[in-house]
Amino acid sequence: MPVADDVPNPPPPARPRRRAPWPRPFLVGLVCGVVLAGCLLTALRWPQDDVTYRSTPPPSLVYPDDAPHHLALVRRSSLYGSDTFRLFIGRGPTPAYGHWLDVDAALGQRGVESTRWTREGVRVRFPGGHEVFVPARAFLYGR
């Protein structure tokens, strides 16, 4: 004869309550995204060039290539805080293609006192008394 089981079946184990997800992964991703975007923008912005001085020859002085000429003292700031200076002489008002000369940082920081354009070239005078002469053949005809 079949025996009835007097012991009832045990209830199934209770499932643990599921907690609401904590926003940690979202916040970590957001912080990482902001930091990476800041680093990318900083890296794309450097090095930065600033023109600290500009000069053009007087209208009465026309060089044999019949082109307008421009002189600029350009300061290049690096990401590490150091500055370098270069003197640019070329056909365009923006320093790009032309004749470039490196200038000592101590001279460049003090700026340019004066420029004197002649048919032979251009003479740049710095406040400390230093002078640089660039012959016209160095910047004529788009060099």
Q: Name the DSSP class of 79.
A: T
Convert the pLDDT of each residue in 28-78 to its tens digit: 888 889 999 888 877 777 778 899 999 999 999 999 999 999 999 999 988
| Contact in structure between 71 and 89 (CB atoms under 8 Å) | yes
Q: What is the pLDDT of residue 39?
A: 83
Please indicate, yes or no, whether the overall pTM of this predicted structure exceeds 0.85. no
Residue 126 CB partners (closer than 8 Å, separation 6+): 107, 110, 111, 112, 113, 132
Residue 65 and residue 124 in contact, taking contact as beta carbons nearer than 8 Å = no
